[in-house]
């Protein structure tokens, strides 16, 4: 325990104190009772008081000087925020999320305040819990064992410092925080009369609020940060405010929270390294063909359609994690669509354009290069949703070039679409569309913030504490570099996606209109491999399971361990996580999971076996371009390098 460690340190450093007579030691600590005294009197031994020394300012002059420097740096941060607003480069709208939060909490408050008895009971419950914490803290200081009302949250990584357990003040704060958070959650779950969507939004916003108000996020209520501030005489806060100013300036007036050391990574240098060539380019994408690694390859080429909300190199982070490299090594001729990072010119590029000038263009390119009229296709996340819609369109038109489809964490039914539904009701979509009118696209930072909010306690506040309170640079992490490499969304594309999928759920209900045709997934009769991940907060496994029933052909549903990224990017060599296989994805999701068979390690080899069963014929390896198309540039190409 930290407090005990501090006491040991004091004894070791103060030899004179250790050699003092017992009478002197007693005089210095008149309020402490020895074990022998306790035995004689029959009274419980009071708990040892924590060491005070780590919390006492050592150099008041240096602390005052650094506090002045901190205020100076904070002023620079404020200036970086104000300047683009003064010049008109950035405007803040009063509508949107802030208004939605107020409206949602108003509906929640209406339920509790409409009945005085109900309101008083809720307040009494909270106050009673605080009293129990206080009395428990007093008994603990007296040496008694007392229950911890926040026992269920002891594994939370924000509260790992020993003082959260040992120090009476911080232990009280921790317990009070969790009791209050649980009470706030209960206000939502116990509020009768709320429609499901309002309840969902209220629960989400309460989670955001409690994450923001955690005592770990403030200097004086976080023992680890407080001790570091004392030890450094506030220099950590000076560095932190300097970083805050830099991050607001980098965000052009908005906070661009750094989650990793950006200087340590560069696309094409230590990310996206699989050898290949850009062999074709349209207005909205580049098509990359990767160099073969085997003498023989599967006859059917493999086309990967990644999401345009993020960049494709999540599947090619580095050679050890790269699904693309692994697929090449298994004998696939791999082609990847690399989407453009759109600007004003792409404002009217909707789903039809992405289907025709993206997927269709890539299929045309593959046929030119290889002569093959059929391919295996993979779609990831929203790239998979686009692929599914395109398959339905192609089926109606008699286009059979895609012979099998694999979906990574892809939703086609959005009834159980998770916390992203909070941002996709009619009011929020209206606000987003209004925001996109100014430039013709949605700024990438908006989507990045939304995704980070889904896991605020892991992706926002730990970095606020580390960067701006501790003044430390975040550690290099390729996945978080990719996560911060934001992309914009064309207005027409994003509006179509939000309205047709999240708001109206048209794709799974055979109501989606694409290129003037009403499409149906029941027309998609090719074999489908549908991968979900158990802890996915973007495309929940239940949602993916339900979507399996929308297709007209045989669907192999597989659930991987972990989440939206780690559950997909899970190389076999790492022997991490697990995956489940079972019967047909019909009936109830929970019943399928209960009967499913668990397999250790990566699902990648299982998928490879599935693909080979579709068509295992092999041909000689194919070089990029195949002698039919000249190389435009080396992989990963220029589209993916554009940063915003």
Please tell me which residue in 285, 381, 501, 550 is annotated as part of the active site: 381
Tokens representing residue 427 in the block = 């009011």
- Written in H, E and C, the secondary structure of 503-568 is HCCCCCCCCCEECCEECCHHHCCCCEEEEEECCCCCCCHHHHHHHHCCCCCCEEEEEECCCCCCCC
What whole-number distance in Å separates Cα of residue 350 and Cα of residue 352? 5
Total residues found in the chain within this entry: 644
Whether the ω angle into residue 492 lies within 30 degrees of 0, i.e. cis, is: no
What whole-number distance in Å separates Cα of residue 566 and Cα of residue 550? 26
Return the beta strands (E) in 401-503 as ranges.
Answer: 402-408, 441-442, 489-490
Specify the DSSP class assigned to residue 599.
E
Return the beta strands (E) in 272-374 as ranges.
Answer: 276-281, 285-290, 296-298, 302-305, 334-339
Query: Quick one: which H or E segment has residue 619?
Result: strand 618-620
Helix (H, G, I), strand (E, B) or coil at 204: helix
What whole-number distance in Å separates Cα of residue 355 and Cα of residue 382? 12
What whole-number distance in Å separates Cα of residue 618 and Cα of residue 632? 28
Query: Quick one: which H or E segment has residue 378?
Result: strand 375-380
- Residue 622 to residues 34, 277, 361, Cα–Cα distance (Å): 82, 12, 19
Q: Does residue 468 come out as left (phi exceeding 0), alpha (psi in the -120 to 50 range) or beta?
A: alpha
Pairing of strands 296-298, 285-290: unpaired
- Residue 395 to residues 96, 517, 551, Cα–Cα distance (Å): 39, 11, 12
Cβ pair 109, 103 in contact under 8 A: no
**Is 550 labeled as catalytic in the residue annotation?**
no
What whole-number distance in Å separates Cα of residue 504 and Cα of residue 325? 38
Q: Which residues are catalytic?
A: 381
């Amino acid at each position: 325990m930290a407090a005990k460690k501090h006491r040991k340190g004091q004894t070791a450093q103060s030899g004179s104190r250790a050699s003092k007579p017992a009478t002197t030691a007693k005089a210095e600590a008149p309020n402490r009772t020895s074990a022998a005294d306790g035995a004689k009197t029959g009274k419980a031994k009071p708990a040892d008081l924590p060491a005070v020394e780590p919390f006492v300012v050592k150099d008041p002059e240096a602390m005052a000087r650094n506090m002045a420097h901190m205020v100076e740096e904070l002023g620079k941060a404020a200036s970086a925020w104000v300047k683009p607003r003064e010049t008109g480069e950035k405007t803040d709208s009063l509508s949107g999320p802030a208004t939605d939060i107020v409206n949602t909490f108003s509906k929640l408050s209406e339920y509790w305040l409409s009945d005085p008895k109900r309101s008083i009971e809720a307040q009494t419950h909270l106050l009673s819990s605080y009293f129990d914490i206080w009395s428990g803290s007093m008994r603990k200081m007296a040496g008694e064992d007392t229950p911890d009302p926040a026992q269920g949250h002891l594994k939370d990584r924000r509260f790992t410092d020993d003082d959260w357990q040992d120090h009476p003040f911080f232990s009280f704060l921790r317990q009070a925080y969790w009791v209050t958070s649980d009470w706030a959650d209960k206000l939502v779950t116990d509020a009768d009369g709320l429609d499901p969507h309002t309840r969902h939004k209220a629960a989400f916003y309460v989670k955001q609020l409690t994450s923001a108000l955690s005592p770990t996020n403030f200097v004086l209520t976080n023992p680890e940060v407080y001790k570091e501030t004392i030890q450094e005489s506030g220099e950590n806060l000076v560095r932190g405010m300097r970083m805050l100013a830099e991050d607001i300036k980098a965000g052009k007036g908005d906070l661009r929270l750094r989650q990793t050391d950006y200087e340590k990574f560069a696309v094409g240098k230590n990310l996206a390294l699989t050898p290949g060539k850009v062999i074709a380019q349209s207005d909205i994408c580049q098509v990359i063909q990767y160099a073969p690694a085997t003498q023989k390859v599967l006859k059917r080429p493999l086309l990967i359609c990644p999401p345009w909300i993020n960049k494709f190199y999540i599947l090619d982070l580095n050679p050890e994690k790269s699904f693309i490299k692994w697929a090449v090594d298994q004998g696939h001729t791999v082609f990847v669509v690399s989407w453009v990072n759109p600007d004003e010119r792409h404002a009217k590029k909707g789903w039809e354009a992405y289907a025709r000038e993206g997927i269709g263009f890539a299929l045309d390119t593959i046929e030119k290069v290889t002569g093959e009229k059929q391919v295996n296709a993979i779609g990831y996340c929203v790239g998979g949703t686009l692929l599914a819609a395109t398959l339905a369109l192609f089926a109606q038109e008699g286009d059979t070039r895609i012979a099998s489809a694999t979906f990574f964490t892809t939703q086609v039914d959005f009834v159980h679409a998770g916390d992203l539904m909070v941002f996709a009701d009619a009011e929020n979509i209206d606000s987003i569309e209004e925001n996109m009118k100014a430039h013709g696209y949605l700024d990438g930072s908006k989507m990045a913030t939304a995704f980070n909010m889904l896991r605020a306690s892991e992706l926002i506040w730990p970095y606020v504490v580390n960067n701006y309170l501790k003044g430390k640079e975040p550690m290099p992490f390729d996945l978080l570099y990719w996560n911060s490499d934001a992309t914009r969304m064309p207005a027409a594309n994003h509006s179509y996606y939000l309205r047709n999928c999240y708001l109206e759920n048209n794709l799974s209900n055979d109501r989606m209109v694409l290129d003037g045709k009403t499409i149906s997934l029941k027309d998609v009769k090719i074999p489908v491999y549908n991968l979900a991940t158990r802890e996915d907060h973007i495309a929940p496994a239940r949602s993916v399971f339900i979507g399996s029933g929308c297709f007209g052909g045989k669907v192999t549903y597989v659930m991987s361990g972990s989440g939206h990224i780690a559950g997909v990017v899970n190389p076999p060599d790492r022997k991490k996580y697990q995956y489940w296989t079972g019967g047909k994805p019909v009936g109830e999701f929970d019943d399928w999971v209960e009967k499913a068979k668990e397999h250790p390690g990566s699902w990648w080899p299982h998928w490879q076996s599935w693909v080979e069963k579709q068509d295992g014929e092999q041909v000689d390896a194919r070089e990029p371009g195949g002698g039919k198309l000249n190389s435009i540039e080396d992989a990963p190409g220029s589209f993916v390098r554009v940063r915003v």
